[in-house]
Amino acid sequence: MRSSFRIPVHLPAPPRAAPAVPDESEDDEGRFVNRPCYEFNTLLRPAWNDRHCEHCRHYLTARCPHIDEFLDDVEDLTPE
């Protein structure tokens, strides 16, 4: 009596998801949200009160304590 021998056949491995790499843009966006100096600009609609710096009364003014950060961020966007 002969025994049969079968070579195992393996299916290809399922594709792996790419490792989670933190997106730099998410970190950058979070830098300008919910700061302790935030004061909502009442000239805007109340629905816009999302604690983003761009809706703050001091946004891009001399009264903003973080104006240097904003100007640095804008300089990064200028073409070379």
Total domains in the fold of the chain: 1
- The per-residue pLDDT for 23 is 47
- What is the rounded distance in angstroms from the CA atom of residue 24 to the CA atom of residue 19? 15
- In a domain, residue 2? The reply is no
- In a domain, residue 7? The reply is no
Q: Where are the alpha helices (DSSP H) in the chain?
A: 24-30, 67-77
- In a domain, residue 27? The reply is no
- In a domain, residue 64? The reply is yes
Whether the predicted model's global pTM rises above the 0.85 cut: no
Q: Of the candidates 28, 31, 29, 49, which has an alpha carbon nearest to the alpha carbon of residue 40?
A: 49
pLDDT digits (tens, 9 = 90+) for 18-63: 544 444 454 566 788 999 999 999 999 999 999 999 999 999 898 9
- In a domain, residue 20? The reply is no
